[in-house]
Structure 1
Amino acid sequence: MSLGDEHDGQTRTRLPETGAPRPPARSSRSLIAVVGVVVLLIAAIALANRGGGTPSDAKSGSADTPARGGAATAATGTRPVTGRSGDIPAGFARDEQGAQSAAANYAVALGSVDMFQRGPRESIIRATHDPSVADALVKNLDTSYSTAFLATIGLDANGTAPTGLTFVSRTIPVGTKIKDFTGETATVEVWSTGLVGLAGEGSTKPVTSTWFTLTEKLRWTGDDWKITGSDQIEGPTPVNGDNRASLADDIAKAVEGYGGFTYAR
């Protein structure tokens, strides 16, 4: 992840100055789609620029105390969801727990390998986003995930890794927090760690970890929570431990062998 500007006590993620021009001023609806593009491309752009970019200044922000519920890490124990929209959990409760569970599961889908392939990417966007922003976002992402861009991260025009290598892109939520809730809308922060890179012998883009907080603005639409806009900042990021980095083949086997979860608050 690239670092951000020093402003209002937060670390704000932005696109690197090299590799992607800043978008011009747009209407509010178009801006939502553009923000979505920025959020979803952050990890991929960091991978493409690895080794050649210069991070911007950063200032760590202060953590907020959870405003609702018991202990910060205490789960509700309530079954989060019973339905699915394709491979994505669906049918979340119309309450704070449901909004947080939806935000966490949507973050996982939006950080997945499928986002780098046109058909699966459109399915994910339409399953997780409000219909009022989905069409524009699909169009913008199809343009952003161009053949040239995919090539910079080692993928072919179809978003497929070279023979012998495994492309890794995973988002793992660490926790969620409600920032605003009305019953019709909700704003949820999802503190996450992520993995991105090419695993396998000879990879020049090894898998690395990132830490970021994704803020999702949700609206109750069609009996479920849907995203209307997203934003992302770097961190909070812990100090790296003393774990020895695994071999590239071990990472590839782990990614292929370990499945994901349905996340709940």
Structure 2
Amino acid sequence: MSLGDEHTGQTRTRYPDGDGSPRRPSRSPSRSLVTVVGVVVLLIAAIAFANRGDDDSPTTTGTTDKPATSATAPTGDQPVRTKTGGIPSGFTHDRQGAQSAAANYAVALGSTGMFKKDARHTLIDALYTPESAAQRKGPMDQAYSADFLGKMGLDADGNPPKGNTFVSRVTPLGTAVRQYSDTDAKVAVWYMGLLGMSGEKSTDPVTSSWKTWTFDLRWTHGDWKIVTESQKDGPAPVPGDERAASSDEISKAIEEYGGFTYAR
């Protein structure tokens, strides 16, 4: 699945922020899952449009100027050739590889694995530079405390109650290269996130959020790794008129529909 090419253009829960505090999408009682079906339709339309042709936009490096608008199109390059612990790895040493890495890292960091200590440490070691990984484990463990997990409806080990499905998923919609050099890259990922507990007695239903996740990446030991990252709200579209799905429908969808490996 191709993401937007940002050679010259802009194109998935609580997570700890850079300061160690839990990330939680803002909720509004009027917000529901009515946008989910619309997002799927938009993604299908984007893919169909992207397949119409290649992108021959010129490449620039080391600039922070606002890029001009360009069409989204697939490059045809292989995004990754290997996986480490189920996480895509071995990204190419170029702008496209940095974008692919950022998109796939957003998916991994937005997964339910971040709510379980062992899985969280595995993700941190795999995605961050060694120095950054060592610095972030402690603050993240404090952020994902038993009290925090309890507020999410999870037990101290990050497990949902029997008969419930905990949902934490990130779906990237596009990427934008903010800065690039042979050693470092700053890539923004615009995504839709799902977060909540799906179950008949759940008091924290699954809701959607729209955010932009920006990663400072460094070429380390033959791959792109995260040095720092930050998030901000939006841009969020106007909700559609679709009916909100029931808990059973959400649980079934989460179990049936797997994720993607994202490529520029």
TM range (shorter): 0.7 to 0.9
Once the two structures are superposed, the pairs formed by residues 183-202 of structure 1 within 5 Å of their partners are 183-202=182-201
Match of 2:166 in 1: 167
Give the secondary structure class of the aligned counterpart of 2:20: helix
Q: Is the 8 A contact 1:172 1:193 kept in 2?
A: yes
- Aligned-pair CA distance for 1:153: 0.9
1:75 corresponds to 2:80? no
**Candidates 35, 55, 64, aligned match of 2:18:** 35
- Aligned-pair CA distance for 1:37: 3.2
Per-residue deviation, residues 216-243 of structure 1 (Å, max 9, x unmatched): 0000000000000001110000000001
Mapped partners of 1:93, 1:67: distance in 2: 24
Distance change >3 Å, CA 146–CA 118, structure 1 → 2: same
Q: Is the 8 A contact 2:174 2:189 kept in 1?
A: yes
Mapped partners of 1:260, 1:240: distance in 2: 23
Mapped partners of 1:137, 1:103: distance in 2: 18
Give the secondary structure class of the aligned counterpart of 1:43: coil
Mapped partners of 1:174, 1:110: distance in 2: 16
Mapped partners of 1:214, 1:77: distance in 2: 25
Once the two structures are superposed, the pairs formed by residues 141-156 of structure 1 within 5 Å of their partners are 141-156=140-155
1:222 corresponds to 2:221? yes
Per-residue deviation, residues 235-265 of structure 1 (Å, max 9, x unmatched): 0000000010011011001001110010001
Once the two structures are superposed, the pairs formed by residues 91-106 of structure 1 within 5 Å of their partners are 91-106=90-105
Q: Is the 8 A contact 1:216 1:227 kept in 2?
A: yes
Match of 1:212 in 2: 211
Q: Is the 8 A contact 1:36 1:137 kept in 2?
A: no
Q: Is the 8 A contact 1:94 1:220 kept in 2?
A: yes
Per-residue deviation, residues 74-106 of structure 1 (Å, max 9, x unmatched): 121211000111011000000000000000000
- Aligned-pair CA distance for 1:151: 0.5
- Aligned-pair CA distance for 1:136: 1.6
Counterpart residue type for residue 217 of structure 1? D
- Aligned-pair CA distance for 1:34: 6.2
Q: Is the 8 A contact 2:129 2:225 kept in 1?
A: yes
Q: Is the 8 A contact 2:17 2:23 kept in 1?
A: no
Mapped partners of 1:254, 1:34: distance in 2: 28
Give the secondary structure class of the aligned counterpart of 1:253: helix
Once the two structures are superposed, the pairs formed by residues 1-265 of structure 1 within 5 Å of their partners are 35=18, 37-38=20-21, 41-43=22-24, 46=26, 66-67=67-68, 70-71=70-71, 73-265=72-264
Give the secondary structure class of the aligned counterpart of 1:170: strand
Task: Name stretches of at least 5 consecutive residues in structure 2 with no aligned partner.
Answer: 1-13, 30-64
Number of residues paired by the alignment? 215
Q: Is the 8 A contact 2:165 2:251 kept in 1?
A: yes
Q: Is the 8 A contact 1:34 1:140 kept in 2?
A: no
Task: Name stretches of at least 5 consecutive residues in structure 1 with no aligned partner.
Answer: 1-14, 16-32, 52-63
Q: Is the 8 A contact 2:99 2:176 kept in 1?
A: yes
- How much identity, in percent, do the aligned residues show? 50
Q: Is the 8 A contact 2:17 2:231 kept in 1?
A: no
Q: Is the 8 A contact 2:17 2:230 kept in 1?
A: no
Distance change >3 Å, CA 221–CA 36, structure 1 → 2: farther
Counterpart residue type for residue 92 of structure 1? F
Per-residue deviation, residues 114-165 of structure 1 (Å, max 9, x unmatched): 0000000000011100111101211111111111111011100000001111
Q: Which runs of 4+ in 1 moved over 2 A?
A: 64-68
Distance change >3 Å, CA 110–CA 141, structure 1 → 2: same
Per-residue deviation, residues 162-190 of structure 1 (Å, max 9, x unmatched): 11110000000000010000110000000
Q: Is the 8 A contact 2:89 2:223 kept in 1?
A: yes
- Aligned-pair CA distance for 1:203: 0.9
Q: Is the 8 A contact 1:166 1:198 kept in 2?
A: yes
Mapped partners of 2:20, 2:120: distance in 1: 12
